[in-house]
Amino acid sequence: MIVHEERANQFKRLISILREDKRGPASAFTLRASQRRTGLMARLFQAAYQPDAFVAWRSPFVPTELFYAMDIVPFFPEGACSMLANSRLVAQALDVAKKNYYSGDACSFLRCVAGASIEDLFPAPDILVCTSICCDGAPKMFYNMSKRYKADYFLLDIPYNYNNSEAVDYLARQIEAMIKAIEKKMGKKLDPERLRKAFSFSNEARSYFLRINELRRHVPAPLLGKEAIDCAAAVASTWGTEKIVDIYKLLYDELKERMERSNASLPEARYRILWRHLRPYYSDAIIDYLENRHKAIIAFEEINYIPWDELDADEPYRSLARKILANPGIGCLRHWLDSTMGFVEDYKIDGVIEFAHWGCRHSDSMFQILKTALKARQIPLLKLDGDCIDNRDYSEGRMKIQIDAFLELLGGKK
């Protein structure tokens, strides 16, 4: 086992930057489930800095169940940047990335990871695992980081034609080969019992989250978008832990309780919004403006869509391959468009807002096609240009004016 003594200093450096910052946390959650989820993520974040932990950096669409079955701590560097977006770390890391020739045209999440690594603020990985889709830049950034840390890099090549058994086999073989290589590096075998447990926790958590998404179809909405977006279930690192089962169960119970107490206690909604992509993590102002001031409730957001089936521990690699391939962002844009139009129907959506994060080609590519499809259904679409973690060009006033005009349009339709 490699002991990474350097992680103690990496953590100290990170904390000293956060301590210098006078800004408080951006969000204060009222739901107990949200508070517990934040606590779990903070503990996982910290676990990646333990010198004797075996740490795998993972990109957003790499499943985590196998990691937990093998005592591997997953570290999601782009997610870490969003957790730290309310500190000066992001601007500092982006400046460092710029000085090191990372183009400003690239996504700020990826540049922030590069800069934070050059500043030696993130925990040194033992391995890095990335998927070739859905993020354009992540394979290159992960490759660069593997060179920087001299750590093994696994790139899972996702086939464009996803919907057939050859695609599942092709991906399953890669996952199996990766696990064999990790077993060799760790000097221990994947325990089938531990795997069964991790899959079972993941399936149970999935079942609660599907029920939560079902409750959210209710009018009035039992959950605000502000409370929901940060779950980011589609990319979360918590699948396969026992704790996330309790947290999603609690969230389900809290929503049921809200609904049973009285429909009148649910937030009043003038409009139901579908939110695309992520949000600005350094400020809640825009979401608050939308939901509190204008009563335009985010009824659903695609980052919480669960498209995969239950995992099957009897064929783990094929099962995880199917989980990855279920992502609607894979293959022809029709795949993605169909799921988005399904949300419009299921969640009785009045208008769609796309938070167009700078540099995310993957998400931006869908805009024109979605606009045309929504227009045919007379559903307005607003594109809010911005950046999820870099607040230096953030213009709250401009966004509020755009939101006002958009809601006026929605009002005219009612």
Which residues contact ligand SF4 by CB under 6 A?
78, 107, 109-110, 134-138, 357, 359-360, 362-363
Nearer to ligand SF4, 278 or 410 (CB): 278
Q: CA-to-CA distance for 358 and 108, rounded, in angstroms?
A: 7
Edge-to-edge strand list for the sheet holding 271-276: 296-301, 271-276, 351-357, 381-386
Nearer to ligand SF4, 223 or 366 (CB): 366
* Minimum CB–partner distance for residue 236 and ligand SF4 (Å): 14
Q: Give the tokens for residue 42.
A: 């903070």
Nearer to ligand SF4, 366 or 381 (CB): 366
Nearer to ligand SF4, 112 or 299 (CB): 112
Adjacent-strand bridge partners of 357: 386
Torsion sign across C-alpha atoms 134, 61, 316, 199: negative
Nearest to 229 by CA among 157, 150, 290, 181: 290
Q: CA-to-CA distance for 235 and 221, rounded, in angstroms?
A: 23
Nearer to ligand SF4, 136 or 310 (CB): 136
Q: Which residues contact 176 (CB under 8 A, 6 or more apart)?
A: 317
Q: Give the tokens for residue 263.
A: 């429909």
* Minimum CB–partner distance for residue 137 and ligand SF4 (Å): 5
Q: Where are any strands of DSSP class E within 219-358?
A: 271-276, 296-301, 351-357
Nearer to ligand SF4, 276 or 362 (CB): 362
* Minimum CB–partner distance for residue 59 and ligand SF4 (Å): 8
Q: CA-to-CA distance for 139 and 127, rounded, in angstroms?
A: 14
* Minimum CB–partner distance for residue 286 and ligand SF4 (Å): 17
Nearest to 311 by CA among 209, 197, 228, 173: 197
* Minimum CB–partner distance for residue 381 and ligand SF4 (Å): 19
Amino acid letter, 361: R
Nearer to ligand SF4, 227 or 390 (CB): 390
Q: Where are any strands of DSSP class E within 235-295?
A: 271-276
Query: Are the C-beta atoms of 325 and 162 separated by less than 8 Å?
Result: yes
* Minimum CB–partner distance for residue 390 and ligand SF4 (Å): 12
* Minimum CB–partner distance for residue 8 and ligand SF4 (Å): 28
Q: Which residues contact 238 (CB under 8 A, 6 or more apart)?
A: 37, 40, 41, 44, 64, 205, 244, 247
Nearer to ligand SF4, 78 or 126 (CB): 78
Nearer to ligand SF4, 41 or 251 (CB): 41
* Minimum CB–partner distance for residue 208 and ligand SF4 (Å): 26
Which runs of consecutive H residues, i.e. helices, occur in 103-220? 108-118, 138-149, 165-186, 192-215
Q: Count CB atoms within 10 A of the CB of residue 257.
A: 11
Exposure of 144 in the CB half-sphere (CA atoms within 13 A): 15
Q: Give the tokens for residue 80.
A: 């870490």
* Minimum CB–partner distance for residue 301 and ligand SF4 (Å): 14
* Minimum CB–partner distance for residue 337 and ligand SF4 (Å): 18
Amino acid letter, 393: D
SS3 276: strand
Q: Give the tokens for residue 397.
A: 């006033």
Nearer to ligand SF4, 107 or 212 (CB): 107
Nearer to ligand SF4, 146 or 363 (CB): 363
* Minimum CB–partner distance for residue 345 and ligand SF4 (Å): 25
Query: Are the C-beta atoms of 362 and 135 separated by less than 8 Å?
Result: yes
